[in-house]
Amino acid sequence: MTIVTRFAPSPTGFVHIGSLRTVLYNYLYTKQNDGKFMLRIEDTDRARFVEGSVENLQNVLASVGLIPDEGPNNPGDKGPYFQSERLDIYQTHIKTLLDDDKAYYCFCSSDRLTELREEQQSLWLPTKYDKKCRYLTPEETQEKLDAGAQYTIRLKVPDNTEITFEDAVRGKITIPSKDVDEQVLMKTDGFPTYHFAVVVDDHLMWVTDIIRGDEWIPSTPKHVLLYSAFGWEMPKFSHVPPLLWEGWKKLSKRTGDVSVESFLAKWFLPEAMLNYISLLGWNPKTTQEIFSMSELIEKFKLSDVHRAGAIFEESRMEWFNSEYIKSYETTTLWNKIKTYLGRYDNEYLEEISNFPEEYILKILEELKTRMKKLEDFKTLTQFFFTDVADLDPELIVNKKMKIESLTDVKTSLTVALEILENVENKLESIDEIKNTFIDEIKNREMKNGQVLWPVRVALSMQQFSPGWLELIYIFGREKSIQRITKVLKQI
C-alpha cells in the first residue's frame, strides 16, 4: 500500500509557522515511506475566503522546498483539489448517509439555535444540538421539504457507545458518544461543512495517514463516525502539539507576526527554518542539531513526537540560520543572497552590481561568520560600496587606545599611510599585511592599538566592523590609501 498524506488548509490568510511544521512532518513521513504528499484547498467556507491566499500558500511551499507530489499546480488523478469544485461529489455521498439513516434533515432556524446555545451557556452546560429534528417522523420531514423549508443535514450520533481511535502520538483515545455533537454535515447553501468534506475527500484521495494539529482531536470522533457510517477503512491519525511563545502563550496572529512569508522577508534561510521547527516537538534522540533534509527524512519518526507544546524562539532560529550561513561555500552563499536581494531589496542589488564579483566574494568570505540573517549582508557591507563618510571625532578618538585627540589620530594615520605607500610588496595576503604593519609599528616604538584603531575607523567609519587587518585585505592597498588620505584631509 502506498502511503498518502495531505496538507489541506483553508485559504483564509497567510501560512502560519506552526502550519509549516505540520506540512514538514507530513512531508518527512511521506518521503521516508516513498509515499505521496498531496495539497488540497478546503475552500467551502466562502465567508472566510481571502483573495490571493492560495497563490501565497503555493509560493511559500515552493520557497521552502516542500513541493506537493499532487495538487492544484501538479494535478494527478485524484482531483479536483478545490473543495468548491467537488460539490456534486458531496451531494452524492450525503444522499447515501440519508438513505442509510446515518444522517437527518434539521429545520431549526438560526434564532432557535442561538437561543439554545445561550440557554446551555447560562446553565454551564456543553453547547451542542438537542436533537430536536432527529426524531421527526419521515412524514413530518417530507412535509417540511415539500413546503420548501430551509434545512441543514446533521450527523446521527449513536447513543450510549464509545468512540475509539489510535493516535500515533498519543496512543488510544476514547470518547463517549454522549459528548459528541450531532454536527452539521451539509449547510443550507448546499456547501458541505469541513467535517463532512474532509472525510469524503480523504477517502476518495486514498489518504492513509492524517498528520495534523492536536486542536483537531475533539473533532476526530465525528470523523471516525463518518468513516464507520460509510463502511470505509479509517486512516491512521497523528495529532502533533502546538507551537507556543515563551510563557506558553498560543502562537497566533494576535501574539506576533508568525507568517512564514514574514520570516522569509526577514531573510531567514528556508533550510534553517525547517531544521529548527522540525525539532520543536520532535526528539531525534541525538545531540545533533543541524540536519540536512535527507537526514531529517531518514531519522523522523511520529512515535518520537512529543505530546506537549514546544516553545518557538526567533532568536534560537537565528542561531540555526547563522550556522547554515557559516557552512556555505562563499559562492553558494552569494547566489542565495542575490536571490534574496532580487526579491526584497533589488535597489541594493543594482547598486553593488557594478563592483567585481571577486571583490564581493572577498567581502563575504570575511563577513559571513558575523551574519545571523541574510539581511545582515547589507548592514555589514554598505560602507564597502560607498565613499567614506564624514569624520566622526567621537568614534575615532579612543583614550583606551592612547588616542587622546585628533592630533594623535593624524599621527597614527600618517604612520599607516607611510606603511602602505612605502611597502615594496603588494600586501596581497593576510599574513603579509599583518607582518608588515606589526613590524613597522614596533620599529616606531608605538602601540598596536594606537595605529590600528584609527585605521579601522578611517576605513569603515563604523562603530562595529571587521578588524583593520580584514579591511585592508578586502579594500586592497590602493583603496586603503585613498580612504586614509581622505580622512587625513578632513582632519
Q: Which of helix, strand or coil describes residue 160?
A: coil
Verify that 185 and 287 share a domain, yes or no. no
Q: Is 253 annotated as catalytic?
A: yes
**Count of domains for the chain:** 4
Verify that 45 and 188 share a domain, yes or no. no
Of 337, 352, 381, which residue is a domain's last? 381
Verify that 236 and 266 share a domain, yes or no. no
Q: Quick one: pLDDT at residue 118?
A: 94
Q: What does the block give as the cell for 479?
A: 583603496
Compute how many other C-beta atoms are within 10 angstroms of the C-beta atom of residue 308.
9
In a domain, 252, yes or no: yes
Verify that 145 and 273 share a domain, yes or no. no
In a domain, 319, yes or no: no
Edge to edge, the sheet with strand 209-213 lists: 171-176, 162-167, 236-240, 209-213
In a domain, 218, yes or no: yes
In a domain, 317, yes or no: no
Instruction: Decide if 468 contacts 455 (C-beta within 8 A).
Output: yes
Verify that 159 and 118 share a domain, yes or no. yes
Q: CATH no. for residue 154?
A: 3.40.50.620
Verify that 67 and 139 share a domain, yes or no. no
Amino acid letter, residue 227: Y
Q: Quick one: pLDDT at residue 332?
A: 96
3-state DSSP helix/strand/coil % of the chain, to nearest 5: 55, 10, 35
Verify that 138 and 269 share a domain, yes or no. no
The one-character DSSP state at 149 is -
Q: Quick one: pLDDT at residue 255?
A: 54
> Could you read off the pLDDT tens digit of each residue along the chain, which spans 491 residues?
899 999 999 888 788 899 999 999 999 999 999 999 999 999 887 777 778 888 989 999 999 999 999 999 999 999 999 999 999 999 999 999 999 999 999 999 999 999 999 999 999 999 999 999 999 999 999 999 999 999 999 999 999 999 999 999 999 999 999 999 999 999 999 999 999 999 999 999 999 999 999 999 999 999 999 999 999 999 999 999 999 887 777 776 655 578 899 899 888 999 999 999 999 999 999 999 999 999 999 999 999 999 988 999 999 999 999 999 999 999 999 999 999 999 999 999 999 999 999 999 999 999 999 999 998 999 899 999 988 777 778 888 888 878 888 888 888 899 989 999 887 777 778 888 899 889 888 998 888 888 888 999 889 888 888 889 999 999 999 999 999 999 898 88
Verify that 250 and 376 share a domain, yes or no. no
In a domain, 316, yes or no: no
Domain that holds residue 277: 4-82+243-311
Compute how many other C-beta atoms are within 10 angstroms of the C-beta atom of residue 119.
12
| Angle value at C-alpha 194, between 192 and 198, nearest 5 degrees | 100
In a domain, 229, yes or no: yes
For the full predicted model, state whether its pTM sits above 0.85: yes
Task: Please list, in sequence order, all residues whose beta carbon lies within 8 angstroms of the beta carbon of residue 13, skipping any fewer than 6 positions away.
Answer: 50, 53, 253
Q: Quick one: pLDDT at residue 253?
A: 62
Verify that 262 and 147 share a domain, yes or no. no
The residue among 482, 470, 348 whose CA lies nearest residue 413 is 482
Verify that 120 and 259 share a domain, yes or no. no
Of 345, 360, 381, which residue is a domain's last? 381
Verify that 90 and 218 share a domain, yes or no. yes
In a domain, 387, yes or no: no
Verify that 227 and 114 share a domain, yes or no. yes
* Active-site option among 132, 178, 253, 326: 253
Of 217, 240, 263, which residue is a domain's last? 240
Q: CATH no. for residue 425?
A: 1.10.10.350
Q: Quick one: pLDDT at residue 72?
A: 93
